[in-house]
């Protein structure tokens, strides 16, 4: 096991080096856009200390329906595409507001309590849904359309305490097969005092059962303010179930997967967050007024010095926090029974990328690394479960995994750890593996082995066919950096400019190319999953997690990724963008529309 | 294993506190949050403390008037902020574009909104040259063109984006304009290429709004367009 660790370490270090050559070796410092001497607040002003693994894991409650008669005004079918094809039979209401949330029980974060427990005047100002962050977890079923009203009760600009964010929201359901007006595109925002209605039809793309999805999430997508609004707390899970992934580990239907369900199916959302000395969440932009210092060289091009310190910049590169949170709790612990669990692990951003491992610390004996059994990527089941020693998790990506705690003993500790080092400005990986892993969360194995009715099936979901004869056209998108900003094909986002007109029902082949050699982009396109055909000219191996349906491309330095996608069932506006949400806001995003046949470009 | 992970040091022996997620139903939580949000809004006053983070550097405008950057031009104002130079305008006409925005804002400029253009080229862009330049674009009152010493201009641009490589003319192909609420400390950025009415709309996003009296008020979707069966998104 010790050798394995060394193998792992060296193997990844080599891979890392080829992924992004260390900047100091590749180019002289004076040519760097972000010199290594640039020090963001994560370095100059670390968050107050907090003891790891003393905060219990926050498990979000499941959202419950409301009586549709209580929605005033009533839902209006004339405002939704295909409303009558998919009449909703479940109605929900979400109130978005500002409140104080305790990320940790210790001061200055908390008062011995976490979340909304304890003194309501203690905790950091956060935004959330129905009084909690992350919001309630939706349990939705295929063929059961949902109607959801989201009301914005946030304070106005100038009154909101989380003042780095904009109290105007549009909540995107990532990556639902949903009409434009219900998708939560950046333009469809609701200001304080307004509501927006969402109609989720919950049917698979093209009515093809192979297109069924499972782990979705919802988050803010506000034009110019996505990064800050999600960071303030606006994220949550939306889980879709069907006959096979039936949310019942005791299901007697022979087609059912019988994956761990109920208390043993736990969504985990990872956000890295930065706090000030009072335990308030900070965004890099909002910091105390800089004070004048002696001019000092920070490695800027042309030798321009900085006369102000600590050195804060309005961040266009990314935002890295020094506190790892899971379900908006700093480094939590979770008591687990000795049986199988399904964890749905999501990187909620804003900018950090992870390589996750399981590190086992037996009560007696030496620590070692263990494997994940991976069921899905980006919320889409793989053809077969894959056993892997690590998970690559870029922003907005999801992996459902099985961890079987029955093989450990009571008193053993299992840690979810990260080994990927990020550039401190958040623009991408540093190209190095961490010397010491970051501890994300702790599983405490407790008690005797228990009866476990759940299973891991040998086969999961078949992939839809890629039929190249359906392809109407190809498109190339180049992701680059220009003038402190992030461009797609040399341009910034304009919501009134259509960058691609895609004909309804057609397929296209898209190429994403990263023209940068020192930054990374998790690129997401809305509405339908796609199939990656090639990464840097190589096809995808069968036992690769990329051999799946995807909705986020990991576009590393100089990478080129080609995929096949289809656009079916609805018309209207959507977007494709970098999910390093700071890049998205500055303004690495395009608008594409699904248009009737014959009107495409 | 000698190199036990660092994160394990300082592991507490104390039993952790119990944690219950919020009790009750979704409907009850939603109702409680409506009430709580209203109470908090009523009790909320704008924090009088400094809520921004700009250096208050000495700058000079096109009329030769001196200002402390933060105190005179940002604090308590709705601000549209960009970086430019007279030499760069030929290759990247950002001032020409913003002059259209100024025209669109009309009487609001100088009253509700203030425009601030900071030169990247203070050696050439003296107050006198900026005066001529601003008159060429018919810059009305409420639009300041600022210059100062080289280092201070660099500090202001480094405050907004860390770009060292695009100060020379002709190097810029894209840019953003920053817009913010100086008293709230809320800032966004829009690309220069967007339409003028979209720019004007975005500036209103950081202004305190007149809240609808009766909750809730529908933002959307709009009623479907009968012609093409879509286009019911918010109109912006």
Same domain? A60 vs A203: yes
High-pLDDT (> 70) share of chain A, %: 87
Confirm or reject contact between A421 and chain B (CB < 8 A): no
Q: What are the backbone angles phi and psi of residue B70, rounded to the nearest 5°?
A: -70, -50
**Do residue A417 and residue B44 have CB atoms under 8 angstroms apart?**
no
Same domain? A193 vs A144: yes
Whether A346 contacts A269, CB under 8 Å: yes
Query: What's the token pair of residue A532?
Result: 């990656």
Q: Which of A197, A226, A248 is the last residue of a domain?
A: A248
**Residue at A299 is within a domain:** no
The residue ranges of every structural domain in chain B are: 58-205
Query: What's the token pair of residue A272?
Result: 């890295």
Q: Report CA dihedral (A313, A315, A316, A317) to the nearest 10 degrees.
A: 100
**Least confident range of A56-60, A368-372, A420-424, B111-115:** A420-424
- On chain A, the residues whose CB falls within 8 A of the CB of B212 are 193-194
High-pLDDT (> 90) share of chain A, %: 78
Same domain? A445 vs A473: no
Same domain? A371 vs A505: no
So what's the pLDDT on residue B160? Answer: 75
Q: Which of A217, A248, A279 is the last residue of a domain?
A: A248
Q: What CA–CA distance (Å, rounded) separates A11 from A17?
A: 10
**Residue at A481 is within a domain:** yes
Q: What CA–CA distance (Å, rounded) separates B209 from B140?
A: 26
**Least confident range of A108-112, A493-497, B14-18, B226-230:** B14-18
Pairing of β A530-535 and β A538-539: antiparallel
Q: Is the pLDDT of residue A295 over 70?
A: no
Q: Is the pLDDT of residue A525 over 70?
A: yes
**Do residue B189 and residue A306 have CB atoms under 8 angstroms apart?**
no
Measured between alpha carbons, how far is residue B222 from residues A83, A181, A198, B225 in Å? 14, 8, 12, 8
Whether B72 contacts B103, CB under 8 Å: no
Same domain? A29 vs A78: no
Q: How many CA atoms lie within 13 A of A88 on its CB side?
A: 24
Among chain B residues, the shortest Cα distance to A83 is held by B224
**How many pairs of residues across A and B have Cβ atoms under 8 Å apart?**
363
What digits encode the pLDDT tens for the residues A8-46? 333 333 333 333 333 333 333 333 334 444 555 666 678
Same domain? A358 vs A492: no
So what's the pLDDT on residue A436? Answer: 87
Is the ipTM above a cut-off of 0.85? no
Query: What's the token pair of residue B116?
Result: 């601030």
The most distant pair of C-alpha atoms in chain A lies apart, rounded to whole Å, by 73
Residues 17-56 of A with CB under 8 A from B: 33-34, 38, 51-56
Query: What's the token pair of residue B97?
Result: 């574009």
**Do residue B53 and residue A60 have CB atoms under 8 angstroms apart?**
no
**Do residue A117 and residue B33 have CB atoms under 8 angstroms apart?**
no
So what's the pLDDT on residue A257? Answer: 98
Q: Which residues pair with A443 in a beta bridge?
A: A334, A414
Same domain? A322 vs A437: yes
3-state secondary structure of B46: coil
So what's the pLDDT on residue B28? Answer: 84
Among chain A residues, the shortest Cα distance to B184 is held by A158
Q: Which of A395, A421, A449 is the last residue of a domain?
A: A449
Q: What CA–CA distance (Å, rounded) separates A417 from B8?
A: 11
- On chain B, the residues whose CB falls within 8 A of the CB of A487 are 174
**Do residue A58 and residue B216 have CB atoms under 8 angstroms apart?**
no
**Residue at A422 is within a domain:** yes
**Do residue A596 and residue B228 have CB atoms under 8 angstroms apart?**
yes
Whether A249 contacts A42, CB under 8 Å: no
Same domain? A99 vs A238: yes
Buried b / exposed e over A8-27, threshold 16 CB at 10 Å, is beeebeeebeebbbebeeee
Low-confidence residues of chain B: pLDDT under 50: 1-21, 43-52, 164-165
So what's the pLDDT on residue A69? Answer: 95
**Residue at A534 is within a domain:** yes
What digits encode the pLDDT tens for the residues A162-218? 888 999 999 999 989 999 999 999 999 999 999 999 999 999 999 999 999 999 999
Confirm or reject contact between A82 and chain B (CB < 8 A): no
Residue A81: closest CA among A180, A219, A205: A180
Q: Taking the CB of residue A253, how many other CB atoms lie within 10 A of it? A: 11
DSSP line for A465-496: P--GGGEEEEEEEEEEEETTEEEETTB---TT
So what's the pLDDT on residue B231? Answer: 64
- From the list B3, B7, B194, the residue facing A439 with the nearest CB is B7
Q: Taking the CB of residue A492, how many other CB atoms lie within 10 A of it? A: 26
- Average pLDDT over all residues of chain A: 89
Who's near A170: CB < 8 A, 6+ residues apart? A184, A185, A186, A187, A188, A189, A190, A196, A220, A221, A222, A223
**Do residue B166 and residue A314 have CB atoms under 8 angstroms apart?**
no
Whether A285 contacts A164, CB under 8 Å: yes
Residue B30: closest CA among A149, A197, A138: A149
* pLDDT band (50, 70, 90) for residue A569: very high
DSSP line for A181-220: HHHT-TT--B-TTEEEEEEE----GGG-GGG---EEEEEE
**Residue at A218 is within a domain:** yes
Q: Is the pLDDT of residue A483 over 90?
A: no
So what's the pLDDT on residue A110? Answer: 95
Q: Which residues pair with A62 in a beta bridge?
A: A137
**Do residue A188 and residue B233 have CB atoms under 8 angstroms apart?**
yes
Q: Is the pLDDT of residue A286 over 60?
A: no
Same domain? A21 vs A122: no
Among chain B residues, the shortest Cα distance to A57 is held by B19
**Do residue B163 and residue A188 have CB atoms under 8 angstroms apart?**
no
Which one is predicted more confidently, B36 or A406?
A406
Q: Average of pLDDT values for A408-414?
A: 97
**Do residue A304 and residue B158 have CB atoms under 8 angstroms apart?**
yes
**Residue at A349 is within a domain:** yes
Q: What CA–CA distance (Å, rounded) separates A374 from A93?
A: 33
* pLDDT band (50, 70, 90) for residue A238: very high
So what's the pLDDT on residue A27? Answer: 35
3-state secondary structure of A420: strand
Q: Distance, in angstroms, between A33 CA and closest chain B CA?
A: 6
Q: Is B170 buried (19+), middle (13-18) or exposed (0-12) by CB count in 10 A?
A: exposed
- Of chain A, the end-to-end C-alpha distance in Å amounts to 56
Same domain? A19 vs A76: no
Pairing of β A332-338 and β A90-101: unpaired
So what's the pLDDT on residue B211? Answer: 64
Q: Average of pLDDT values for A442-449?
A: 96
Q: Distance, in angstroms, between B65 CA and closest chain A CA?
A: 23
Q: Average of pLDDT values for A401-416?
A: 97
Among chain B residues, the shortest Cα distance to A181 is held by B233
So what's the pLDDT on residue A290? Answer: 47
Q: Is the pLDDT of residue A284 over 80?
A: no
Same domain? A70 vs A7: no
Q: Domain B58-205 belongs to what architecture?
A: 3-Layer(aba) Sandwich (3.40)
- On chain A, the residues whose CB falls within 8 A of the CB of B180 are none
Which of B29, B45, B74 has the highest number of chain A CBs within 10 A, making it the mutation to test binding with A?
B29
Which one is predicted more confidently, A229 or B172?
A229
Q: What CA–CA distance (Å, rounded) separates A503 from A570?
A: 10
So what's the pLDDT on residue B208? Answer: 83
So what's the pLDDT on residue B24? Answer: 73
So what's the pLDDT on residue A350? Answer: 93
So what's the pLDDT on residue B8? Answer: 39
**Residue at A12 is within a domain:** yes
Which one is predicted more confidently, B186 or A514?
A514
So what's the pLDDT on residue A298? Answer: 53
- What range does the domain containing A226 cover? 55-248
Instruction: Indicate which CATH number applies to the domain containing A15.
Output: 2.60.40.420
**Least confident range of A54-58, A242-246, A303-307, A375-379:** A303-307
Query: What's the token pair of residue A84?
Result: 């009558």
Same domain? A563 vs A441: no
Q: Is the pLDDT of residue A291 over 70?
A: no
How many whole angstroms from its chain centre is CA B138?
24
Q: Average of pLDDT values for A484-494?
A: 92
Q: Distance, in angstroms, between B200 CA and closest chain A CA?
A: 14
Our count of domains for chain A comes to 3
- On chain A, the residues whose CB falls within 8 A of the CB of B155 are 306-308
Q: Taking the CB of residue A474, how many other CB atoms lie within 10 A of it? A: 10
Helices (H), A338-473: none
């Amino acid at each position: 096991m010790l050798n394995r660790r060394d193998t792992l370490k060296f193997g990844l270090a080599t891979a890392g080096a080829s992924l992004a050559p260390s900047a100091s070796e590749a180019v002289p410092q004076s040519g760097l856009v972000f010199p290594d001497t640039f020090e963001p607040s994560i370095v100059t002003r670390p968050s107050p200390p907090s003891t790891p693994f003393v905060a219990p894991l926050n498990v979000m409650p499941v959202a419950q329906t409301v009586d549709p008669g209580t929605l005033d005004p009533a839902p209006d079918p004339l405002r939704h595409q295909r409303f009558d094809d998919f009449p909703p039979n479940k109605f929900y209401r979400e109130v978005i507001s500002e409140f104080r949330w305790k990320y940790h029980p210790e001061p200055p974060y908390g008062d011995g309590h976490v979340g909304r427990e304890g003194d309501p005047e203690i905790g950091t100002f956060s935004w959330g849904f129905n009084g909690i962050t992350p919001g309630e977890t939706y349990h939705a079923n295929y063929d059961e359309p949902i109607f959801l009203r989201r009301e914005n009760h946030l304070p106005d600009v100038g009154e909101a305490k989380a003042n780095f964010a904009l109290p105007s929201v549009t909540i995107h359901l990532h990556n639902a097969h949903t009409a434009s007006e219900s998708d939560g595109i950046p333009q469809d925002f609701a200001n304080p005092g307004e509501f927006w209605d969402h109609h989720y039809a919950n049917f698979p793309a093209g009515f093809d059962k192979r297109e069924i999805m499972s782990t979705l999430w919802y988050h803010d997508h506000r034009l110019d303010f996505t990064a800050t609004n999600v960071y303030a707390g606006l994220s949550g899970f939306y889980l879709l179930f069907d006959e096979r992934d039936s949310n019942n580990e005791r299901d007697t239907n022979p087609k059912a997967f019988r994956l761990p369900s109920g208390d043993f199916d736990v969504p985990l959302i990872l956000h890295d967050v930065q706090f000030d000395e009072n335990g308030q969440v900070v965004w890099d932009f909002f910091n105390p007024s800089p004070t004048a210092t002696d001019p000092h060289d920070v490695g800027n091009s042309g030798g321009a010095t900085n006369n102000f310190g600590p050195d804060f910049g309005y961040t266009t590169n990314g935002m890295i926090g020094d506190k790892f949170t899971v379900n908006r709790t700093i480094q939590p612990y979770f008591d687990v029974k000795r049986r199988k669990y399904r964890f749905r692990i999501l990187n909620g951003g804003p900018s950090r990328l992870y390589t996750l491992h399981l590190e086992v610390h037996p009560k007696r004996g030496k620590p070692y690394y263990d494997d994940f059994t991976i069921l899905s990527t980006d919320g889409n089941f793989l053809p077969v479960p894959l056993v892997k020693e690590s998970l690559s998790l870029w922003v907005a990506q999801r992996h459902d995994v099985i961890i079987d705690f029955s093989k450990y003993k009571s008193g053993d500790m299992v840690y979810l750890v990260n080994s990927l080092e990020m550039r401190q400005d958040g623009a991408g990986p540093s190209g190095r593996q961490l010397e010491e892993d970051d501890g994300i969360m702790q599983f405490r194995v407790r008690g005797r082995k228990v009866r476990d009715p759940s299973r891991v099936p040998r086969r999961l979901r078949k992939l839809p066919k890629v039929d190249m004869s359906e392809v109407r056209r190809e498109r190339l998108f180049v992701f680059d950096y220009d003038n402190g900003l992030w461009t797609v094909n040399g341009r910034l986002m304009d919501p009134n400019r259509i960058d691609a007109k895609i004909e309804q029902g057609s397929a296209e082949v898209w190429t994403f190319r990263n023209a940068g050699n020192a930054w990374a982009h998790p690129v997401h396109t809305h509405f339908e999953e796609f199939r990656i055909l090639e990464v840097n000219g190589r096809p995808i191996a069968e036992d690769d997690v990329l051999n799946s349906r995807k909705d986020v491309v990991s576009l590393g330095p100089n990478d080129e990724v080609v995929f096949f996608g289809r656009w079916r069932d609805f018309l209207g506006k959507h977007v494709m963008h970098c999910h390093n949400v700071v890049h998205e806001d500055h303004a690495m995003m395009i608008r594409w529309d699904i248009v009737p046949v014959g009107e495409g470009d | 294993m000698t190199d036990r992970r660092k994160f394990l040091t300082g592991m507490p022996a104390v039993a952790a506190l119990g944690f219950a997620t919020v009790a009750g139903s979704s409907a009850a939580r939603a109702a409680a949050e409506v009430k709580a949000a209203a109470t908090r809004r009523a009790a909320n006053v704008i924090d009088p403390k400094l809520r921004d983070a700009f250096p208050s550097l000495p700058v000079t405008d096109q009329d030769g008037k001196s200002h402390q950057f933060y105190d005179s031009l940002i604090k308590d104002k709705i601000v549209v902020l960009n970086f430019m130079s007279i030499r760069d305008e030929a290759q990247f006409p950002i001032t020409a574009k913003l002059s259209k925005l100024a025209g669109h804002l009309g009487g609001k400029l100088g009253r509700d909104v203030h425009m601030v253009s900071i030169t990247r080229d203070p050696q050439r862009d003296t107050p006198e040259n900026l005066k001529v330049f601003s008159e060429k674009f018919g810059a009305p009152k409420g639009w300041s063109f600022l210059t100062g010493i080289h280092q201070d201009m660099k500090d202001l641009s480094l405050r907004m984006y860390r770009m060292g490589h695009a100060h020379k003319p002709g190097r810029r192909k894209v840019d953003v304009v920053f817009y913010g609420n100086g008293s709230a400390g809320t800032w966004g950025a829009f690309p220069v290429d967007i339409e003028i009415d979209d720019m004007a709309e975005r500036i209103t996003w950081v202004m305190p709004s007149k809240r609808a009296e009766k909750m809730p008020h529908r933002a959307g979707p709009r009623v479907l367009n009968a012609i093409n069966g879509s286009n019911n998104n918010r109109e912006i």
